[in-house]
Amino acid sequence: MAELRAALERAGAVVVGAGAGLSASAGHAYSGPRFETHFADFIAKYHYRDMYSAGFWPYPTPEEYWAYWSRHIWLNRYAEDGGAVYGDLLELLRGRDYFVLTTNVDHCFQRAGFDKSRLFYTQGDYGLFQCSLPCRQTTYDNEKAVRRMVAEQENLRVPTALVPRCPACGRPMTVNLRCDDAFVQDPGWYAARRRYTDFLHSHDAGSVLYLELGVGYNTPAIIKYPFWRRTLANPDAVYACVNLEQAPAPKELAPRAISVDGDIARVLSALKTFS
C-alpha cells in the first residue's frame, strides 16, 4: 500500500485499466443474491446460474429475449451507480493527469462524475442499441425503451410492439456489446479511441503509473498485456495491479511492479488516507 500510494504521488500521468472486478467490488455481482433477487422468475424457468450465461441463453422468442435483456440493462446500467468504489477512485485521481481504458459497459465511471473526455469504453455500452446486421455504424440511446420494457413485461415477455427494431432497415436491434464482428464502432467510439491513443503517445516517457483494477484473463490483450509492454518500454513507468486473488506481474517487471491481492473497494478506500 505504501508503494502504491508513493507511485501515485510520483506519477506525472496515470493510465487506469478497469475490468469487471472493479464493478464487482462495487457490488455489481453477476451471480449470487443480486442475480437471484432480480431474476428469480427467469431462474425458475431456465435454471441458469448467473447473468453472464443468461445473456447468451437461446430464448425462443424476441419477446422473451428482451424481457431478460431489458431487465439486465436496467439493473446494470440505470438502477445503480458505482457507489463508494468509483467515488474513491475519482477522488484519488482528482487533479492528476489521467485516462481510463475500460472493458466495463455499465457506465459507472460517468455516473460517478469522471470526465467523459478521459474515458474509453472499448467494449461498448449497455445504454446503447445498434442494428443487429448492422446496416450502419450508428448507435441509439436506449434508456426510454429499456425502462418501458421493464415496466410492461409480463410472464417473462415484453409486448411485441416494444421489441426494438432498427429505424433505418427494420431489422432487430441488439445491445452495443463487443461479442462478434457485428459490433458497431460509432463516431463516438473512434473519438474516444483517438483521445486515448493521443494520451498514451504524449506519455511515452516520464513517470507514468499504469494502474490495473479488476482485470482478469478473459481479454488480457486489451488492458493487461499492453500495460506490461508499455511499462517495460519506459524505464520510468510503474505497473500496479489490484485484484482479488489474481494480481500477478511478469518477473521482468519485478523492480517496477506493485501487486496488491485484495478487494479493490477496501484498497481504494485505504489509499485515500494512507501515508
pLDDT at 247: 85
pLDDT at 63: 98
Would you give per-residue pLDDT tens digits along the chain (275 residues)? 899 999 999 999 999 999 999 999 999 999 999 999 999 999 999 999 999 999 999 999 999 999 999 999 999 999 988 889 999 999 999 999 999 999 999 999 999 999 999 999 999 999 999 999 999 999 999 999 999 999 999 999 999 999 999 999 999 999 999 999 999 999 999 999 999 999 999 999 999 999 999 999 988 999 999 999 999 999 999 999 999 988 889 999 999 999 999 999 999 999 988 75
The count of C-alpha atoms lying within 13 angstroms of the C-alpha of 15, restricted to the half-sphere facing its C-beta, is: 26
pLDDT of residue 82: 82
Q: What is the pLDDT of residue 248?
A: 86
Q: Which pLDDT does position 55 carry in this prediction?
A: 96
Residue 134 pLDDT? 98
What was the pLDDT predicted at 275? 58
pLDDT confidence of residue 23: 95
